[in-house]
Amino acid sequence: MENKKIKIGLIGLGTVGSGVFKTLQSFNNVEIVKIAVRNKNKKRNIEGLDEKIITDNPYEVVNDPEIQIVAELVGGVEPAFDLIKTAIKNDKHIVTANKELLAKYGEELFNFAEEHNKVVLYEAAIAGGIPLIMPIKTILAGNKINKIKAILNGTTNYILTKMDVQNASYNQVLKEAQELGYAETDPTGDVEGFDAAYKITTLATIAFGKRIKIENVYREGITKVSPEDMKTANEMGYKIKLIASAELNKDGKADVRVHPMLVGKSKTLAHIDYVTNAVSLSGHPVGDITLSGPGAGEFPTASSVVGDIFAIVSELDKSDYILPMMRCTHEENAEMIDISDTENKYYISITANNSMGVIGRIGKACEDNNISLASIMQKEVEGNSSARITVITELCKEKNMQKVIDIFNNDPAITEVNSLIRVQL
């Protein structure tokens, strides 16, 4: 193998694909022989790029007999799923950054790869440049991981950080993020929590050793978070972050979700700002660890893709069954806990008439539904007879909290329930 270059095919030459191409140019034992792109005529200022290896037909990559490793870097379910399956059938190992495909069809994909004795590596699909999958499957393999709290989306973390720092509205900061290229023209996948949900689904599956079904993952975005929420949270000792959370209870049931949370300023995740991502893992015997770094971008994500490529390169022709530790070995689906059955603390922001008895009515609604209050704060709204009331509850059932919100929404003294945000324990 000393003088033989491993042949690589790339599907996608966008931000990540460009970073992978540029990074691989400095290695002598691999060669990119074909790259599939959407627009073959697009001008690309990439040094060393030979236009002759570019095609607008991705099946030329997956059907090329000399290619040994295919890196799929375009995302989405189709045609990515069929391209990867075709590549596997054609005796190629796969590296992908496709979090949506893994979350929705990971089980089918990994089973198909195993049937054909091929590996699918996906370090870049969870947290960009942060090493997670390889450490969990190798150095942390002796641990029982039972809790994950993570910031897995740089766009939403940037928006929430800027809202906090500038006391600006969500819409103001979103526009700025789009102008800077941190947010897509259609930001739905990020701001409504889909991206983070895909990532926590796969991460929890790996960490817990049981398959998590994406359709059972609760998801809520950041679009309703207001500058007032940010200011009040700060005053109460918290920061607001979009948290991807996964936890196994004592019965082995999985609670997996994505939603905004008030995170205490004493906690590590409260200080992960702008486009940085971070993952906190809890397990035995390691205890609590946090890994943080760039969660997206050309070279951080390329770092993970190239790392996976070389993990495969190092094993080729050395064994008939390469990288056994990195293969999917899950044999059961996790039993999931519905969000309504979870227990949380809550931050509630209410606008109400500034009149006698309102606080008492709020307290009575909570008391009637087995909810204790940790704190309650009232501020007069200037210019009218309204008051902004902020409540933090003690630990209580989600289903009881939703009953209280229904009571508030039907109370004539309460103008609006502005926010309901869970508090990280």
Cβ 92 vs Cβ 34: under 8 Å: no
Enclosing H/E stretch for 165: helix 154-166
Q: Which two tokens stand for residue 127?
A: 């947290």
Residue 2's Cβ-side half-sphere holds a number of Cα atoms within 13 Å equal to 0
Q: Which neighbouring-strand residues pair with 239? A: 263
Enclosing H/E stretch for 208: helix 194-208
The DSSP secondary structure of 334-383, one letter per residue, reads PPBPPGGG-EEEEEEEEEEESSTTHHHHHHHHHHHTT--EEEEEEEEPTT
As a whole number of angstroms, the distance between CA 115 and CA 149 comes to: 34
Q: Which two tokens stand for residue 67?
A: 């290619």
Cβ 172 vs Cβ 162: under 8 Å: no
Q: Which of 318, 326, 280 is nearest to 122 (CA)?
A: 326
As a whole number of angstroms, the distance between CA 6 and CA 30 comes to: 5
Marked catalytic residue, from 99, 118, 199, 239 = 199
Q: Which two tokens stand for residue 339?
A: 């969000």
Q: Is 327 exposed, middle or buried (0-12, 13-18, 19+ CB in 10 A)?
A: middle
175 catalytic per annotation: no
Residues labelled catalytic = 199
